[in-house]
Structure 1
Amino acid sequence: MVNFIVILILYCYVNGSLGSSNEENPINDILPEDGRFNFTQLARKYGHHAMEYKVTTKDGYILGLFRIRGKYRRKKNKLPVLLMHGIADSSDAWLLRGNFSLGITLANSGYDLWFGNIRGNKYSRNHVRLNPDKDVQFWDFSFHENGYYDLPAIIDRVLNETGFKKLNAIGFSQGNTIFYVLCSTRPEYNSKINVMMALAPICYIQNVQSPLSFFISISSALYDVLSALGINEVANDNSLFNTYEKIICTLPQLGYDICVKKIMFPFTGHDSEELEPSFLSVLVGHFPTSTALKTLYHFAQVGYRRIFGQFNYGNAGNLENYNSTIPPVYDLNLITTKIVLYVCLNDKISTVDDVKILRSKLPNVVRYIVSPRWLCNHIDHVWGKHMYDYLFPYVYQVLESY
């Protein structure tokens, strides 16, 4: 039954729109203030001025990048800190808990914070020549391009603006996968990253359980069908899915039972104490946001191929793109930057067994941290109610120690 519900939701997820991505969705009026506010408005509400930059990648994507310089500037001699969000998400994720979010907490401590957005999401939905609403080529990317093009453009902009030669980084889920892509394919960037704290590290996805394992097993057929239907974008902010999500998930009690207990937690791990019903109406105003179908399928390939490698186009496509029938494998031995891994025992996406594989492959893991909260799941890293208790102390230790 759960699988049927998720398939139905995925159908709505990728079909239909209430208008162009630049139009205001009237359904947002049912959301609370924090569910409607954008990044700069959230920062202002919680006492900070956020500056917005536009970064253009070498292949023409225009990315949104935000900066909060820190309330007291007490850390003015410290390296800037770059935070990268997870899949189908945006920089908003780091502010959604307000004064108890990681972004606001670090800003209150005076850190110079930079919040990146990868191509396709609501802050990075622009290109020098392609229209995301008309040109399917805009969506021809996966997490490979996020790491190979987006991340270096963001890092270079941060370093150019601040005058530093290195930065510290915090990535959540896909937000650290792209660092592995970058540092293995463009190893010169290892010297620009002082330390990277990986929250819910995603690299290998071969020990996940149902329902995620079910979707990985059917991903090839699902991708072929959706591609044939011309569906390349997932979770447009004004899609019918996002509209239905807001309507259903904000229903008292029923919305929480359906959206969180029946759909979200089976994938991420259950932890109702950290994602309470009152927070859901804030969350659905920001998540999910647009991403490429190809990104989702690339992760699925990593799962069923049991290899952290580049996108598999099939023999003919691989010959055209790689001059080989087999896609290149990312060489993790080339990642020399310091890595801190933070894992949760109840995480059903970034499982402990898969993170162990990653740990064995990376040559410079300087610390491996298991969350003291045994119920901590995948999404607690950014949306958990009590992160200040079980996560933030470790973040401060890493930023101050390295």
Structure 2
Amino acid sequence: MWLAMWPSRKIKHFLCKEWIKRYKRSYSEYPETNLKNHGLKLNIYEVETEDGYVLEIHRLVEANGKKDENNKNNPVVLLQHGMWGTSKNWLIQKPEESICLNLLKQGCDIWLGNTRGNTYSRKHKRWNHDDKDYWDFSFHEMGYYDLPAMIDFILKNSHSDSLHYIGHSQGSTIMFVMQCTRPEFNGKIASITGLAPVVYLYHINKKLLKFVSSSFPNLTKIIENFGYYKFGIPQDKFGNIEQIMESNQYKLTKVLAPAVAYNMSTFLSDYVKQNVTSLILGQLYAGATTKQLSHFGQFIKQDKFCQFDYGVRKNIAKYGHAKPPEYCLNNVSSPTTLFYSDGDWLTNSKDINKLCMMLPNLRACKKIPIKEFDHMDYLWSGICTEYILKEIYLYIIDHNK
């Protein structure tokens, strides 16, 4: 989606070098250092999905082990990143500006998810992460397989019956997918908080971006014909970004990198402090598929929240119908709160209003009262907690009374 504004060749070369420089610096400033400085650490676990993907999930705990992880009275919270993201997206800010660190301080049991294909979840029981078959997924599989596996693991290890879910962007999408397609899990979700939820995209705010994104279903077919199915940088290559940028193995990522650098202003608002920009750059390109982009492009083109459209012949074979089935949002039974803003370049208020009308248990739909508040400000702005943290915490406490 960052291809909507493309730099000249000279600017692209400069930005590519600048991106490398910042990325290398951010690699040495990884969020674990920030956690350690505040007496915290991440416990790491692996979870296997029904279709063989091995996911890595993180639990945020005090380094000295003072807090009892198994205290059943602690509200359990799962935070889920968006597309191209990782669990570390939630850990870039200072503690007082971080949603998850503030909730931890208030006594919540914090878990951070990683979906298939990202930096921390590239294992499979059968396939190597370089295999074409490994990358044959969209966010549908994340909702249908990844979330249920993570949720069951978290509830088992936290000795809890339910958890509170906070999803940013695609992180909200996959929760709605799960509740629509696997309603047996709905009772395990005490509440849903959607930050800039991506479901309906027809009124996307940038016209050129809308044109490019809606063309993705056709563009990805061309891209895949050249053997490219993924966007991202593998974890073991993080420390040698120059090699990646010079390697033919990561051509698609290499092509996109300068566009991201050039368009930082598109998705990083004035509320994101400059001292975390390099950290943010170090968290980009965690992994996504051409199929994901194509699927979101179908949302924009069709103005529907539906499963992947393979074309008439394959749709009939897979779904039994010429068109893909729509997700039934009436199945989303967990109490849901949505946050949105007028400054969001991706989620338009008209699309959010349509989503609100479809949800049967909508608790609240909150508009951030700042015109320039953008899509990524929920993660990285210094003012995010001021507008949403209190609301989230009150809902959690109210449920746990």
TM exceeds 0.5? yes
Residues 69-84 of structure 1 mapped to structure 2, 5 A cutoff? 69=61, 73=67, 77-84=73-80
Q: Which runs of 5+ in 2 are unaligned?
A: 14-19, 238-243, 246-251
Match of 1:373 in 2: 370
TM-score (ref. length: structure 1):
0.85
- Percent identical among aligned pairs is 30
Label 1:116 to 1:178 Cα distance change in 2 as closer, same or farther (>3 A): same
Residue equivalent to 2:157: 161
Is 1:298 the counterpart of 2:295? The answer is yes
Aligned AA (2:345): K
1:28 shift after superposition: 7.3
Match of 1:58 among 47, 50, 72: 50
Q: How is 1:1-400 mapped onto 2 (pairs within 5 angstroms)? A: 3=4, 5=6, 30-32=24-26, 35-38=27-30, 40-69=32-61, 73=67, 77-99=73-95, 100-133=97-130, 135-208=131-204, 209-237=206-234, 238=237, 239-240=244-245, 263-266=263-266, 268=267, 271-272=269-270, 274-400=271-397
Distance, in Å, in 2 between the alignment partners of 1:3 and 1:192 is 40
Amino acid in structure 2 at the alignment position of 1:52? I
- Normalised to the residue count of structure 2, the TM-score between the two structures is 0.85
Q: CA deviation at 1:244?
A: 8.4
Post-superposition CA distance 1:207-248 (Å, at most 9, x none):
0132320212321221111011111011224543767888x7
Query: 1:49 and 1:286, CA in 2 relative to 1: closer, same or farther beyond 3 A?
Result: same
For 2:158 and 2:381, locate their aligned partners in 1 and report how far apart those are by CA, in whole Å. Answer: 31
Could you give the per-residue CA deviations for residues 79-137 of structure 1, whole angstroms, max 9, x where no partner exists? 2100000100000010011322222222222211010000000100110110112x100
Question: In the alignment, residue 318 of structure 1 is paired with which amino acid?
Answer: N
Cα deviation code 1:370-401 (max 9, x no counterpart):
11223211000001122232232222222222
Residue 351 to residue 72, structure 1, CA distance change in 2 (3 Å): farther
- 8 Å contact 2:75–2:109 — kept in the other structure? yes
Aligned mates of 1:394, 1:37 — CA distance in 2: 31
Q: Which moved more, 1:71-80 or 1:355-364?
A: 71-80
Could you tell me which amino acid in structure 2 is paired with residue 87 of structure 1? M
Distance across 1 between alignment mates of 2:193 and 2:387: 15
Alignment check: 8 A CA contact 1:176 1:199 kept: yes
- Cα deviations across residues 156-184 of structure 1 (Å, max 9, x unaligned)? 00011111111111000000100100001
Are the equivalent residues in 1 in contact too, given 2:343–2:373 (CA < 8 A)?
A: yes
Structure 2 CA distance for aligned equivalents of residues 29 and 326 of structure 1: 43
- 1:72 Cα deviation after fit: 6.5
Query: Aligned partners of 2:366, 2:61: CA distance in 1, in Å?
Result: 28
Mean CA deviation greater in 113-122 or 388-397: 388-397
Q: Which runs of 5+ in 1 are unaligned?
A: 13-25, 249-257
Partners of 1:287 and 1:88 lie apart in 2 by 6
1:114 partner SS:
strand
Count of residue pairs the alignment pairs up: 371
